[in-house]
Each structure stands twice: as C-alpha cells, then as structure tokens.
Structure 1
Amino acid sequence: MSLIEIIAGVESHEATLTVFDDDPAVARTLAEHFADRNVRVVDGSTDGGPDGYAVLSRDGEFVTAVGVEELLPAHSTEIGDPSAPDVDGGIPEDPTTGRVGEPVLDHLDETMFTSYSRGDMVAASREIEDRAWRVGRGELHAGFQTLDVLTGETNTYDRLGEKPELDVHAYATDEGDAPNADYYTVHVARSAEIRETWFVAFDGDGLDEAKCALLAEERAPGEFYGFWSYDPATVDTIIDHLVSRYWSSETTDDGDDGATV
C-alpha cells in the first residue's frame, strides 16, 4: 500500500455530523466550520423532541453526541501560523486543542484536512516533532519531498537526531544537495510518492498512546490534502511502508534504486 493509497483509505471513512436544531443556520455554520474536514454535516429532524445537539456517526455507527453550543465557541485558535515554534518551543500536545468543533475532533483518531498551505503543514509537523523530542526515544520518520526542502530543516533535525535514543530518518527525492546529516539518516529516493507527499510519523517508542502521524499529498502547488492520526494501526502502516520500501533494497516506485546517506 502506497502513501497515496493510505490517504485515500482514510478519506473513504467519512464521518457524518447530524445536527438537530430548529435554526437551519446552525447546520450551515457547522458545515462551514468543518469544510476542511472529513466530516459531512446534515440536518436532522427532531419531530418535536429536544433540539440543540448534534450526533457524530461513522459507517452508520454512533460515535458521540454533543450540544451545538459546544461546537460553536465564541473564540477558537487555529493552527497554520508559519512562525510556529520549533522543537524547543513547547507547542500544544494536540493540534486540535482549542479549535472550533473540538468535542467532535476529539473523537476522530484520524482528522482529514484540505488546502493546507506549507505554513499549515509546518505548524502541524511541529507537534509531532515536539512529541518525539519530549519522549526522546523511538523512531521519527519525516518526508521533505526534495533535498532542497530538507536542507532548510537541518538545524531542527540535527537537534532531534542528537537525542541518543531517538532514531531519526528523513526522506527526499534527489533535487538539490544532501545536507551534512551527522545525527540522522537521509533516504534519497527517485520516487513519485516521496516527491508528492509530506509526512511526519513517530512510533512512540512502541507505546500506542504516544504514536502520531501527519500525512498529506500536494494536489496543487503549495496546497496539501491529507490527515493527522493518533490511531496506532495507521501510524504503524505508514512506518512499515517506509521501512520496507526505503530501508532495505531502497527500491522506488519507479523501479530505480535509491540511496541512504
């Protein structure tokens, strides 16, 4: 299963948020809030019963119910600040913290997003890098598309790689010069999926509750579509794919050989 196929698999499991409220504007407002999520918002009929609540379901099964007022806080904090702090900066543990619709997002191990800019992707990546830094053990895998992009992240990944029990791996296509990577391993591949995706995955040093990943496809220049996940099975699938394809034979999607530096 390729990285692109993993994204498609998560995308296919769309959740549904059914809104029960006398005011039709509530559903419209929530639909706008969740427009960049893998959540479909629909009106529900109360038939004279209570209203002012919403039900989240997935594949026809109940997930959670929540009052609409909890989904529409007066103030929220959005990620996407390209000046987000680096691994020493103490960014939030969960990138959904404080966001509109948090009671729903908390029940989604895998949260889709659309049209993220590079600034959004950097901000989301920092959360995973920060978790790996604080745990200080295990494996961190990050895809940079090209060596040119990786070179711009050398300082951050040198610091991460200096953790003696943290095994750091970077992936990029052969566009630009490879950085001097004394503290982490660079996998150079002639691979379409590496060129077209952005990912950061941390294995939690084997602890399921510490595993997390971000995976996105660049579907238009500078616009990314994908998901972040705290589901251990999804994180394992991403890392297993990277290890099996790019560590041993270094075989690429195009059948060419890659290299490890």
Structure 2
Amino acid sequence: MTFPHVGGQQATTTESVPDGLTLSAFNTDCSDAALDTLAGTLAQYLDIEDVTTGSTVTDAQPDEFLTLHNGVLIDGTLVHSEREQEDIEATASMFKPTDTIFFSGYHDHERLRALSQRVEKRAWQAGAGNLYTVGQQRLSTMDDHWGLYASIAGQGTEVHVYEDESYVPGDTDQFTIHQETDGLAGTWLVAFDGDGNDAAKGLLLVEERDPDQYFGVWTVEPDLVDEVLSQAVGHSDVADPTE
C-alpha cells in the first residue's frame, strides 16, 4: 500500500518497525502537548521504546494528517479538540479516503462508538475469526450492545470480552470471557482480526487520559491491526503449526 501524502513511498511492514519512530504533524494547530501525549500512547500500543514528535509542517494539502515513520510506517487523518466541530464530524462520518484516523484529545464519545460499530460490522459480515472488545465503552452499562455481540457470535465469529463475568448479562457461554484486564485498564478496544483476510481487519483503540479526552487510533491498515492485537491481547495472525 502507498500513501498519497508522502510521495507514494511504500509502507514498511511490522517486521521492520524500529525501536524508535517519529510522529510528524502536517497542517495542524493541534497543541504540542496533545501531540506528545498521542506519541506516548502510540509507543505504548506498539511496544516501541520511543516515539518522538517532529516539526509541524505546512504543505499544499488542505487536510490535517500525521505520519508515524522511520521512512514511512503509516499516515492518517488527525482529529483533535482544537478543530472546528464540523470538520471533526466531516472526517469521522464521511470518511474521506483514509485507512487510519488518529485521535488527540478527541471528545466525541458517540462518534467513537460509531467507528467501533464499523469494526463490529466487519466481524458480523465475516461470520468467522475473532472480535476483541475491552472496557472503556463501559461494557457493564451498554445493555443495548450485548444483543449485537450475541448476534455476531451467532454468525460464527468468536467474541472475546475482557470484563468481569459478573457484569456480562444473559448467557455468557456465547462469549469467551477474559477476566484478567489489568494491562488494559482505561482502554477502549474493539478489534477484528479478519479471520486471515487483511481486507476485513479493523480496529479502534483509544485511551481516555482525562474525562472525555481520548487519544489513540482507528484503522483498517492490516499491519497496524496485527501489531496492536499482538501487543494488547497477545493475538497472532500466524497459525500455530502444532494445532
């Protein structure tokens, strides 16, 4: 895959991700502090020793975007609290051609939930593979969503829920419950592994650093989905030859 904002350079794969990466911002008035927080969040998700922020650059492109790179790893649209509300809504709802959206201090929980539903729809349509859902939606209070997850499980997708089993309503046998969630505290994760199909993979992973201040990423870039799943829940897209 190539990325139009950076001269059509070829994206690197996760196998060549270095110990340190640079997060560069283009055409943005996002604060340096918010970008530094996002860089730290991404370093944590990708298990990279250091992600540093580069200079904010202005170019001929009209839109704000970020690149996370050493060479180029990935680029994507940037949304943050300093943007006008209508711009944020246009980015999140109309989906200008992009595989990735970075969030830095984003505050619209309902828009994030709409993005999570795009991932869940992929899992429902596939009827196979693994859907992972963690915390921060607040699972224990989202009764209207349990029916959707039951439907996804009924289609044949294995639904992994990271939550205390006592909070899961109804028949818990339809889900795979993981009660060890300490390493995922404060995280909102909805991710689908695509059942081996790169075109079906998708992920929303954000952290609420302050009340209604979310930092993280939504992506359908398969390498990034694989890398985050590997770090967050220990999932590998490579089959175990002993099974």
Check whether TM > 0.5.
yes
Secondary structure of 1:235's aligned partner: helix
The change in CA–CA distance for 1:53 and 1:168 in structure 2 (over 3 A counts) is: closer
What are the residue-to-residue correspondences of 1:89-108 with 2, within 5 Å?
96=92, 98-99=94-95, 102=96, 106=98
Provide the residue aligned with 1:42 in structure 2: 57
Distance 1:76 1:242, change over 3 A: closer
TM-score, structure 1 as length reference = 0.55
Map Cα deviations across residues 9-57 of structure 1 (whole Å, 9 max, x no partner): 9xx642343xxxxxxxxx6xx647xxx887975345xxxxxxx656978
Letter in 2 for 1:78: E
- Give how far 1:153 is off: 2.5
Separation in 1 of the partners of 2:127 and 2:139? 25
**Residue matched to 2:167:** 177
Aligned residue in 1 for 2:82: none
Q: Distance in 2 between matches of 1:96 and 1:119?
A: 11
Is 1:209 the counterpart of 2:204 in the alignment?
Answer: no
The aligned runs of 1:160-239 (5 Å cut-off) are 160-164=152-156, 166-173=157-164, 177-180=167-170, 181-191=172-182, 193-239=183-229
Residues 62-88 of structure 1: per-residue CA shift (max 9 Å, x gap): 899xxxxxxxxxx87827xxxxxxxxx
**Cα separation, 2, equivalents of 1:212 and 1:78:** 20
8 A contact 1:213–1:235 mirrored in 2? yes
The within-5 A match list for 1:43-82 is: 43=58, 53=61, 58=67, 59=69, 78=89
1:135 equivalent in alignment to 2:135: no
Over 3 Å counting, the alpha-carbon distance change for 1:135 and 1:13 in structure 2 is: farther
User: What stretches of structure 2 of length at least 5 have no aligned partner?
Assistant: 1-17, 39-52, 76-85, 236-243
Identity score, percent = 25
Gaps of 5+ in 1: 1-8, 18-26, 45-51, 65-74, 80-94, 246-261
Deviation digits for residues 183-205 of structure 1 (CA, Å, limit 9, x no counterpart): 222212251x3331000110111
What is the RMSD computed on CA atoms of the aligned residues?
Answer: 3.9
Query: Which entry has the higher C-alpha Rg, 1 or 2?
Result: 1
1:119 maps onto 2:110 in alignment: yes
Look up the equivalent residue of 1:42 and give its one-letter code. V
Distance change (3 Å), C-alpha of 1:16 and 1:169? same
- Structure number with the higher helix fraction is 2
Distance of 1:14 and 1:189 partners within structure 2: 32
